[in-house]
Amino acid sequence: MTRLASRMTALQGPGTTAAAEAARQARAVGRPVLDIRSFGTASGLPPDHVREAVARAARDPGAGSSNGLPELREAIAAKLAKDNGITADPREEILVTTGAKEGLYLAMGAIVEPGDEVLYHVPNYVFDGAIRLHGGVAVHLPTSPVDGFALRLDDAARAVSPRTRVLVLCNPVNPTGHVPTREEVEAIGAFAERHDLWLLVDESYEKYVYDGRPRYSPAAYPDLRARTITVQSFSKSYSLFAYRLGYIAAQAPVIAACRRVLEWIDIYLGPVPQHAALAALTGPSVWIDEMLAMWQGARDRLVSGMRLLLPDVPFVTPQGTGFVFPDVTAFGRPSSEVAAMLLDTYGIPCVPGSVFHGEGRVRMGFGGTPAVQHELLMGLARAFADATRRGGRPPTVSGS
C-alpha cells in the first residue's frame, strides 16, 4: 500500500497560517473580525512608484536569473552596506528568495546535516519545520519576560553538545518584540565563535524598531562575517507582503549551495516581484519613514491603552516588530482555546503562544487605524472582565 514519507506525516503546519485562515473564514461568513495589521503601510499598499514599476514589469518582464535580477542584487548590496554595515558581493554573496521563509529553509539545507542540533531561544518564530525537514534537531532555550525574553547564554552553553551546529537569532524577535542590544549581539557572536557554530540570523522585522533604539547585525562584525547567514524580508520592511520576496546574504559557498537547492524548487524567481523590490530600494524613501512612524504611534497607543485598561495583564512592551505578546493565563485555558475564543466571541484575531513555544500567551498584531486599535483594547478589556466574572484566575504580575 502506498504511504507518505514519515518525515511528512510527523510534520505539523506552522500554526500562524492556521490562525490567519480562521480569521479569513470568519470574515467569509460575515462575522466581525478586527482589521489588525501586523506589518505594512496604513493602506496595505506600497507607494505609487512601486506599483508603477510592477505595471511596467508586467508588460515586459524580461529574463530571469536563479540568483535574482543583477540590478536588484546590486541594490540589496548597497542597502546592506548603508543600513546594516554588512559587506556583500552582489554577484556571489546575495541570493533573492521567495520570501524570507524560503531563505531560512534554503539556509538550513546548506548547513544542517541529519542529526545536527540547532539552538534557538523561545518563544520565537517557527523555525522547527525547516530544521526537521533537513533532518536536524531543534533545541529550544526558554526565555523569561523578567528580562524581556532575551537569550540567556548560560542556558545555551548547557545545551551545547558535540552535535550542535547552528545558533539561530531572530532580530527583532517575533513574537516577543525583543531587540538584542549591542552587548547581547557581541556576546552571542563570541558564543558562536567559541563553539564553532553557524549563526543564522532572521532580520525580517529589521526596520520595525522603536524609540530610536539601535539594532545590530552580527554579519557587520568582521570576525563573525564568515560564520553568519543573514536573511531579510521585503514583505515586512518594505510592505511588499503580497509579492513574497526576501534574500540571503552570506559567504559565496553558502550562497552557491542555497542557489543549487533553489534551482530545484523555483528555477528562478518571477521578475515582477523583483522589480517591485528594486523600486522600493532605489525610489523615494520618505514613505518608509512615514510607515515606521505610523507603527511607532500604533505601538505607543496600544501600550498606553493596555496599561490603562488592563493593568493586571502582564505583557512586555515590544521594542520591535508589529506584535504584542500578552499573558492570557487569566482565562485558565490553553492558548489555542483562548485564541479561538477571542476570535469567535470578540472578533480579535491572534495566534496561540503555543505555536511559538510560549504557552500561556497569544500574539496579537497592533496595526490598523486608531479606531481599530480602540476596538481591540475595548474587546480585550471585555474579554478579561468576562474571564474574571467566570472565576478565571487573574494574573499576579503587572505589565511592564
Helices and strands per DSSP (H, E), number in the chain:
14, 10
pLDDT in tens, 185-195: 999 999 999 99
pLDDT at 380: 95
Query: With contact defined as beta carbons under 8 Å apart, do 360 and 380 qualify?
Result: no
Give the residues across from 200 on adjacent strands.
Answer: 168, 229
> Which segment, 53-62, 215-224, 236-245, is predicted with the most confidence on average?
215-224
Judge whether residue 40 has pLDDT over 70: no
Mean pLDDT for 310-329 is 96
Can you tell me the distance from the alpha carbon of 149 to that of 160, in angstroms, rounded to the nearest whole number? 20
Is residue 271 within 8 Å of 69, Cβ to Cβ? yes
Query: Which residue(s) pair with 118 in the sheet?
Result: 138, 166
pLDDT tens, residue by residue, 320-351: 999 999 999 999 999 999 999 999 999 999 99
Asked whether residue 391 carries a pLDDT value surpassing 80, the answer given is no
Q: Report d(CA 18, CA 143) in Å as an integer.
A: 25
Q: What confidence score (pLDDT) does residue 41 get?
A: 62
Note if the bond before 32 is cis, omega within 30 degrees: no
The SS3 assignment for 174 reads coil
Confidence of residue 38 (pLDDT cuts 50, 70, 90): low
Beta bridge partners of 94: 249
What does the pLDDT read at residue 191? Answer: 98
Triad 149, 392, 381: Cα angle to 5°: 70
Residues 6+ apart with CB under 8 A from 282: 75
In the predicted model, is pLDDT for residue 53 greater than 80? yes
Segment 226-241 mean pLDDT: 93
> In this model, does residue 76 exceed pLDDT 50?
yes
Q: What is the pLDDT of residue 388?
A: 78
Q: How confident is the model over 141-161, as a mean pLDDT? A: 96
Q: Give me the long-range contacts of 146-153 (CB less than 8 A, separation at least 24).
A: 148/176, 148/178, 148/316, 148/319, 149/121, 149/123, 149/173, 149/176, 149/178, 149/316, 150/178, 150/180, 150/184, 151/121, 151/180, 151/184, 151/188, 152/121, 153/187, 153/188, 153/191
Tell me the sheet residues that pair with 138: 118
Q: How far apart are the C-alpha atoms of 197 and 153, rounded to whole Å?
A: 14
Q: SS3 of 201, please?
A: strand
Phi and psi torsions of 130, nearest 5°: -65, -35
Q: CA-CA distance, 117 to 198, in Å (whole number)?
A: 11
Over residues 46-51, the mean pLDDT reads 91
Average of per-residue pLDDT across 228-248: 92
H-assigned helices in 223-330: 234-237, 252-265, 271-282, 286-309
Q: How many CB atoms lie within 10 A of CB 379?
A: 16
Neighbour-count burial of 92, counting CB atoms closer than 10 A to its CB (0-12 exposed, 13-18 middle, 19+ buried): middle
Which pLDDT band, with edges at 50, 70 and 90, does 396 fall under? very low
Share of residues in the chain with pLDDT > 70 (%)? 96
| Beta-ladder partners of 228 | 199
**Residue scoring higher pLDDT (16 or 259):** 259
pLDDT band at 239 (very low <50, low <70, confident <90, very high): confident
Choice among 146-155, 301-310, 379-388, 390-399 with the minimum mean pLDDT: 390-399
pLDDT mean over 79-98: 97
Query: What is the arrangement of strands in the sheet containing 94-97, beginning at the earlier edge strand?
Result: 94-97, 246-249, 228-233, 198-202, 164-170, 117-122, 137-142
- The dihedral region occupied by 259, where left means phi > 0, alpha psi between -120 and 50, and beta the remainder, is alpha
State the chain's mean pLDDT as an integer.
92
Give me 123's grid cell: 518563544
Residue 60: the pLDDT is 84
Average pLDDT of the segment spanning 171-176: 96
Could you tell me the CA-to-CA distances from 283 to 130, 159, 193, 394 in Å, in that order? 34, 46, 39, 50
Bridge-based pairing of strands 246-249 and 94-97 is antiparallel
Beta strand 228-233 with 198-202 is: parallel
Domains and CATH numbers, the chain: 6-45+287-387 (3.90.1150.10), 49-282 (3.40.640.10)
Grid cell digits, residue 343: 476570535
Calculate mean pLDDT across residues 381-392: 82
pLDDT, position 399: 41
Question: What is the pLDDT confidence band of residue 398, given thresholds at 50, 70 and 90?
Answer: very low
β-strand partners of 362: 352
Tell me the pTM: 0.93
